Structure 1
Amino acid sequence: MDVTPGLGKRLQLRIKSHFQPEQSRDQLCVIIPNLPVQKEMEDYLRDRGIKIIRVMSPNSYVAKANTQSILKLHEDPLVHWVGEIPWNMKIDPVLAEKFSLPRLQKAAAHICPVEEGKVLIILYDKDDKAKVQSELQTEGLAIERYDKKIGAFLCQGCDSDNAVDIANMPEVSFMQAPRLIKASLETSVIVGMIDCGFEIDHAAFMGRSPYPVLYGRGWNVSGEGVPDDVWNDNSLGHGTHVAGIMLSRWHNVNLDGMAPRTGGDDDHRFRVVRCGRDTGDPVILYNVDLAMNTLAADNGALAINCSWGANDNTGSDYISVLADAYVWDNQQIYVVAAGNSGTAAGSINSPASAKNVIAVGS
């Protein structure tokens, strides 16, 4: 994507084709500021006639502004770049593979089946519904329904001839092949955890009919003890607590974890990476980057839990960028605690502030 300072080439062409001084129309654009995304920057943009649609991690805005405001904005010293997301970053790799289009990553259709013949077209701004609906019908798509909660059309009739034209619509945020979700009690999904350790011999994991004993495979990257010394939790006991929420198997409706069947045989083990030490501050985790790399190299765990975080809300710190890369490259799912800093803007910690992870808070 062209992010050299100034005005993006695609947006320049669109402005030139529409611009009439007496009729300055709104344009949808992406803004990358020179300052971190924060309330002061948002107020600064709004004061200049910019309507912010959404914030995109790690440091950009989707916004609407009239043509004259955009032409002024790209010369603003606090703004690095104003432009559009290219079409090939807005198409699901599964769709790109199906339509034989260039794609930026390998499709992962094997993880979850998709609804054949259908496409979910997600908008940046719900206010553009009528305009996009008309353009989709012009492209020959049959609209099955509109989801007003997320601002998306479920359509049929998308193919290799019209997919790029649709993705090139500035109002379209993403085109996705709808996944088919299958509810199952099977144990074939391998889950992982990065934490301060894990007491695998705890009674909560010994198994109660019909749930089996929990099988574990683990690594110790804390820098303390031997590499296979992973089954000891430090004095905090945090890892055992978290694993209990996930996988405990007491065969009691009040005590079972969320997925008590997972990790129930020798081939489908629970992956654990220990980052906590027995000496020093029990709250500190060490070498989290090595832990992520270990689970990526093992290529076993699909869903990885991280109930911890660091005080950085930019989404561009080292651990957040690393998590984004592993999710993107390895088709893993990182579920990360949002933090304990409250509900105010900017209170989500790293790596929950990364763009490709699932942040969880209450």
Structure 2
Amino acid sequence: MNEEYTYLPITTCSPTAALAIHAFAEELLSHGAGARVIFDAVAADPECALAQAYAAAIYLTQMTREGQVQAAPHIVTALSNIAFCSRREIDTINAIAAWGQGDERTAITKLRNVVEGSPHDVVAAKLCQILELNDADYVGMLRTSGMAAAVEGRCGYALGLHAFALEQSGHSEVALRFARRALELNADRDPWAQHALAHALLSMDQMIEARAFLHSVSHGWDRCSSFMLTHNWWHLALIELELGNKTAALQIFDEKVWGVRKGHAQDQINAISLLFRLEMQGFHSAQRWADIADHVEGRETEGINRFLDLHYLIALTQSKRTDAADRLVAHLQSNRVAGALARGILAYAYGEYREAAAAFAPAFHHLDELGGSNIQRELFEQIFADSVRKSTCNITRAVHEQHRVAA
């Protein structure tokens, strides 16, 4: 971790709490499985407002209504102890409080202010990038990570954040250089930089190189949080699928992508995205869809994130949970892009491919408004393309049948 972060002041009476906060920062930035160490800080000093806010952030990253409920008491305690905090801490706490209320734009603005005033605060930069990615603010993501990456005594984690932002903004070659520099500084504990490097290679059509690289670093993912573990394996599975290795992709699904932490939203969308790509290539598994749907049904009216909701809809339609699917489609109609995609996904599930293609078409050039990464959004491009292909095939078959009957 950037040692400068450890020099930033923390308002606490407990050295134990301060050490736990630093340990939390390392786990968050390295996508480790031990981020719950922040609750040791809360236990050591319940009046430490920063510790309480970070504890709330852990729950909010779950991106569920339950996570918001769990975060709420920590936010209340943080706000009640804010009076003697530094400006950096106050902005961080208020940002997380806004996040807890669903106001991600305010949260982004306040976290960006933190990074601008304290560019060594890589925790603020990381939380800000999470929100910017959800909010489809790719330009802002590049600006925020650029401030963190430009400081003297560069932090490998900050360079990894900037590498990802560069790739998402279309600067793949520069992203590749930043990711490689990040990994020179932090070879085995920065799976986000590894992920950014793979993104850059894939955007440059270097698929074989990306596969070889990810395999070479995969030994370090077992220490990761479930999201990062399953997400990097998800990337490998997509590469295998693109190369025609459906059996390898399915094996990765079963062993590395689904089943690590089935209740976590990000793990769920990794599984849904991969399984539906397999579905479009002719692999059908009602049992796997039912297992996923068992874990996402009930979230159709939460409205936490449209990008997640569209993945949930796929699982619900593929497992024939029609009532839940209809509720989710209705809920998504308030957004023109998500609403169009929802109608298309529903039509596709019913085999109405012309209707699916027609629904997808007006949203096709606005997919970046959904948030998520470019590779994640490719799923919707592929559903659109498959709808067009199948509708064309259906028309061709109908014409041939008419000619046969006429003959």
TM range (shorter): under 0.3
TM-score, normalising length: structure 2: 0.24
Structure (1/2) with the larger helix percentage: 2
TM-score, normalising length: structure 1: 0.26
Of the two, which has the highest radius of gyration? Answer: 1
Structure (1/2) with the larger strand percentage: 1
